[in-house]
Chains A and B, each alone.
Chain A
């Protein structure tokens, strides 16, 4: 029997970026909030200290900071007809665990969506006609437009201290920034990071081709920065240990470096670590989550924590799992198309790749900030280019540069080089400091057959079924990726390299082994229609008024961009609706 606890105003399930933002906004509004985090506490001083934080084997290769698959993983099959098998070792994506979540070990590329990504279905229909979108492409509009979300993007960027340069300031296009972005009210809070050699080469080539190069917006501090919470972040050291590592300098925006210092100092917040939430106690007739049940992993003791408000901020997989188990919403069925829960699971098609080699140029790949890949172009992103007659929709953000030179994983050699032996050694020694990548991160538009549900066979350490992913790339994905391969080849040739690899495109089945991105989205999507979405525009569950769902699980599909800029903006947008409207008058914020 679970031990019953006294009711609190609100609980946040998971204390990553979204959990800490919601907890902060709710406590500021006067609520007593409990943060339940399955992992341990993590602090910069204890856990991300020099010299150990530079341990490539421990963090990047043995995956020290990520979810432990011995406790929990997900299963995968490529089609509904197959039997899913568990992802036994993390590879393709790396969910976080512990206070700070994946926000401690992300890279920091912090995007806004394009305005046309927000109203995707409407936009494509208006531009290409009523029948242009294939039936199996189940894309939707975000119910919140770019203009509505703009102030909240701004707020999240200011929390993080994002380094960058505006390309569209209140409608005025600015060369050197991203001229394709939606209008911004304000410049980025921090100036762009230092330029790398790879970035300089990319900039020149892109300009020659008539494209519009710009610096990726980076949650790596170009200079020390004090955010509106009064928390000060340090300046980036360009250490080349960003993604998969914590930051010793508090120079990468993370819950630890941006918000936890003020949240943890607030008496209205109580952090409970080792609190692994097992289930939501759902009152179906009352349309409420009455309580959450969790296991203290230090004792095995089970607790029931009643709460007035429940924030589900546990990343895509646990968000879906906890709602599916409690039956909050109807499970999506790919055959009938009925049900919304689990629908539109999407990922990122990390599409093409070209490596360019320069005999006479020194790259110093190991001097790098996580998000300063160098230079980007958005000329082939979203609907920034005409898709008439192309046979696909969507695009990619394209970047050239390096985020690290850690040699266990980063040792480019020209095509045709053996993987070992004397020739390999010669080529590796010769080219290590003379090469970089140009890559395309492609969108992944929802497909009828890609979805999440509960696995019938495999279970996690709490005895819950694993989330089962039915997922593969489809026609649109292969075509976007093929097209981008062509663009990458053009850019590479314009750089005039001594050697280059053949541009690759995404072919074959989705493979869980190589890392692609931790940009898993969907399953609890936001929308205007309760039949096809799980949460409304304020991220409030249609079927449980006091349940608000945070994170990329609410994306109707995945644009080409990394998700966290959007995730953070939506968190602030929802928090405002909760604190200004919901707590005064609990109930549905949108009439179904």
Chain B
């Protein structure tokens, strides 16, 4: 991983303050005056395909709160989960593959499933904006600038559907965020997440090749101790 001394977002924000200051009457964004991002410098420094710097800072902070570092695994972003999300949202899934998108789009009960006109990329854009707007109102800062404790509390509030979002509910956004985070932690590493198979190692999932015709008898009731392998190991 590349060592970065200035977090990407602060680097860009710094550049932006210059322009903002020139624009008369335009106050500098609140976040620009805040203390440095809680996201660790250098975490997940892969080039971005679609996320903006602000969105990326949010995602890094979110996946590191959902999957914090401990003895079981590195943090979500150190496992590549933010990279995974960026690539998924930039690709076919983000652009609305396998999503019927003809209108009308009336408000619907949740049992009818996703009924918005937004594709996943647009949905995450809107969701991150709402989440940051809500934490600014509640804590005075963007989500990624919050202490770990406050980030946990903020996500819990969204999960419980108690954060006020415009448009869709905070729980709907939280559920989508949690889902794509878990995908990034547990999908084959070829997609950029689950780096070093950290997610698989955490639970003891052996990955590939998964040919157990003899092992299913041999390991009946016994721990399967072979190290995991990924699609890349066979390609």
Contacts and interface: CB of A to CB of B under 8 A. Distances in A.
Q: Do A and B bind each other?
A: yes
Interface string B168-195: 0000000000100111001110110000
Contacts of B181: 420
Nearest to B183: A408
B82 interface: no
Contacts of A69: 98-100
A122 to B, nearest CB: 35
B113 A196 contact: no
Interface string A345-375: 0000000000000000110101100000000
Interface in B87-113: 92-93, 96-102, 104, 106, 108-113
Contacts of A512: 111-113
A422 interface: yes
Contacts of A367: 212, 215-216, 219, 224
A85 B112 contact: yes
For B68, B72, B111, B112, the residue with the greatest tally of chain A CB atoms inside 10 Å of its CB is B112
A458 B181 CA distance: 33
Interface string A68-112: 111001001010000101111111000000000000000000000
A56 interface: yes
B100 A86 contact: yes
B111 A513 contact: yes
Contacts of A531: none
B31 to A, nearest CB: 25
B106 A52 contact: no
Given A57-B183, A91-B113, A85 B213 contact: no
A76 B204 CA distance: 40
Interface in A236-252: 236-241
Interface in B196-220: 199-200, 202-213, 215-217, 219-220
Interface residues of A, number: 65
A197 B220 CA distance: 6
A198 B44 CA distance: 40
Contacts of A421: 65-66, 68, 152
Contact of A420 (B73, B178, B219, B233): B178
Contacts of A89: 98-100, 113-114
For A73, A238, A406, A432, the residue with the greatest tally of chain B CB atoms inside 10 Å of its CB is A238
A194 B214 CA distance: 10
Given A51-B231, A237-B210, A420-B66, A70 B97 contact: yes
Nearest to B200: A407
Contacts of A195: 220
B212 to A, nearest CB: 4
B210 A366 contact: yes
B106 A88 contact: no
6 contacts: A55-B188, A66-B98, A85-B106, A238-B212, A364-B219, A367-B219
Interface of A: 50-52, 54-57, 61-63, 66, 68-70, 73, 76, 78, 83, 85-91, 194-197, 235-241, 361-362, 364, 366-367, 405-408, 411, 419-422, 425-426, 428-429, 432-433, 457-459, 508-513
9 tightest Cβ-Cβ pairs between the two chains A and B: A51-B234, A432-B203, A239-B210, A57-B187, A511-B111, A420-B66, A69-B100, A367-B212, A238-B212
Interface of B: 65-68, 70, 72-73, 92-93, 96-102, 104, 106, 108-115, 152, 155, 159, 178, 181-183, 186-188, 190-191, 199-200, 202-213, 215-217, 219-224, 231, 233-235
